[in-house]
Amino acid sequence: MRTRIKLTRAGEAFQGRLTAAQTDLMCEALRTLDGWASTDEALAVQLGADREEVDRLYDRLKGDHTTTREFTLTSRELHVIHAALTAVAPMFRTNGGFSEEAFYDRIGFFRENADAMASSIVSAVSEATAP
């Protein structure tokens, strides 16, 4: 899976191309946390957004999932995606350990893909905003 992304400034937002696999991973992380959060407040603590905002972002990211598409995302939306990618793995702890198999079965990607994508988002924003 290609986890590296490139973003450019687009006014107050960021623009970049995301592959189908990248948006699939983002959508699965968002949907998993939205489904597991017991309350709106718990989801807000995890993602910094309420269910309505998470649903809107999910709807924007989902699509035909077969092509690379251009997206314009705000720093807040990138934060929510980053938070989802980093918060989803702890949901798969079993007996004090992490279940890679359960993570892969539910998300469809390996944890290392989620970690790399989260890191890539931060790097891409840093590069796009560097003087």
Domain boundaries, the chain: 8-129
- pLDDT 10s digit of each residue in the chain, 131 long? 788 999 999 999 999 999 999 999 999 999 999 888 778 898 999 999 999 999 999 999 997 768 899 999 999 999 999 999 999 998 898 887 889 999 999 999 999 999 999 999 999 999 999 98
Q: What are the C-alpha distances in Å from 89 to residues 45, 64, 83, 120? A: 16, 26, 11, 17
Is pTM beyond 0.85? Reply is: yes
**What distance in Å separates the CA atoms of residue 84 and residue 63, rounded to the nearest whole number?**
19
